[in-house]
Amino acid sequence: MNLFFTVVLRMAVAAALLASLFGQIMIVPNSGMPEFEHYYGPDLAPVLGAASIIGVACVQVMLVAGWMLLGMVDRDAIFSAKAFRWIDVIIGAALAGVLLSLAVTVCFFALDSGSDEMGFIGAMLGLASCIGGGASFAMLMVIMRGLLRKATELQTEMAEVI
């Protein structure tokens, strides 16, 4: 892979990790929690705060795994068993995020008081986007894992021929 693209990708991953860490440490506790308490009440606010932090952690795990895979591409070691482990980590983190979004959606439906219908609809649409996007991403990674497996098998066969 081109050195320029590798450096740009690493900078983007590092920036995303720093931004997500800032969000977990500063934004969710200082801005998110008061908003959660205002709109959803003091009983649901800690649950939503924890779900927000865990959801961001799922994204961080995927970013770290992507960083590791990028390093493997740089070393021409992408066709190895370690790559499959990192892809499995990405798939697992994406599915954990989907399950977390699904759990929050179920909580919203169970605890809906009907006081703010537009806010409820907005929250549902946002969570549906998270669920749909996360599930689609996980399925895409399963497909990419299959392609990597096939490419690894072909590289092994070519190495035996040569």
Delimit the domains of the chain by residue range. Answer: 3-161
Q: 36: which DSSP letter?
A: H
Please state whether the predicted TM-score (pTM) of the whole model is above 0.95: no
90-123 pLDDT tens trace: 999 999 999 999 988 888 777 765 567 777 788 7
Q: Could you give the dihedral angle defined by the CA atoms of residues 22, 25, 31 and 32, in that order, rounded to the nearest 10 degrees?
A: 100
Higher pLDDT, 124 or 50: 50
